[in-house]
Amino acid sequence: MKKGRKPESFILKPEFEGGNKALTEFIQHNLKYPQEAVSNKIEGVVRLRIDIDRNGKVLKTHVISGIGFGCDEEAERISKLLKFKTNPPKGGHITYHKDLNIPFKLPKGGFNYQIKPKKKQEESKEIPQKITYNYTINL
């Protein structure tokens, strides 16, 4: 009969608090598309290898495959903001390595608009009610 191992004896991989969905949302929320990439209509995925210390902080980043035009630097900036949950073994120092893909996709152009009528004021025969337009432009 084999002797079972305790879970504490295994080195668990670092995880982002909230899982992959939370990681994706964090990246999308903090991503600032470089102006040079926008003007050249550059899209793609920057692939990084990050080193994570025993406390979950990103120590170092290395671009495995990039797309240039400022996107590689932006991907490194975002990766250094990440904080992972780790379960390091007792004693000794450990550095985790993780590959991370950061997508750069230009937002679809177009115009969204909403029609909001003015609040009703005292009815007057002299001033006709006007409809105002507010525009939200997503680039």
DSSP string across 35-95: HHHHHTT--EEEEEEEEE-TTSBEEEEEEEE---TTHHHHHHHHHHH-BEE--PPSSS---
**pLDDT at position 113, please?**
47
CA 87/CA 44 separation, integer angstroms = 33
Residue 87 in domain: yes
- The mean pLDDT value of the chain amounts to 81
Token pair in block for residue 133: 């337009």
Residue span of the structural domain in which 72 resides? 10-105
Inside any domain, residue 139: no
Q: Residue 136 in contact with residue 114, Cβ under 8 Å? A: yes
Q: Is residue 82 part of a domain?
A: yes
What pLDDT, in 10s, does the model give residues 7-43? 555 678 889 999 999 999 999 999 999 999 988 999 9
Instruction: Evaluate if residue 78 carries a pLDDT over 70.
Output: yes
135 falls in which pLDDT band (50, 70, 90)? low
Domains identified in the chain, total number = 1
Task: Supply φ then ψ for residue 110, to 5 degrees.
Answer: 155, 170
Return the CATH number at 53: 3.30.2420.10
Q: What pLDDT, on the 0 to 100 scale, is given for residue 88?
A: 79
pLDDT of residue 5: 61
Q: For residue 65, is it within any domain?
A: yes
- pLDDT band for 115, please (50, 70, 90 cuts): low
Q: Is the pLDDT confidence value at 1 over 70?
A: no
| Of residues 28, 31, 25, the one with CA closest to residue 71 | 31
Helix (H, G, I), strand (E, B) or coil at 31: coil
In a domain, 123, yes or no: no
How sure is the predictor about 93, in pLDDT bands with cuts at 50, 70 and 90? Answer: confident
**Which of 67, 70, 46, 49 lies closest to 58 in space, CA to CA?**
49
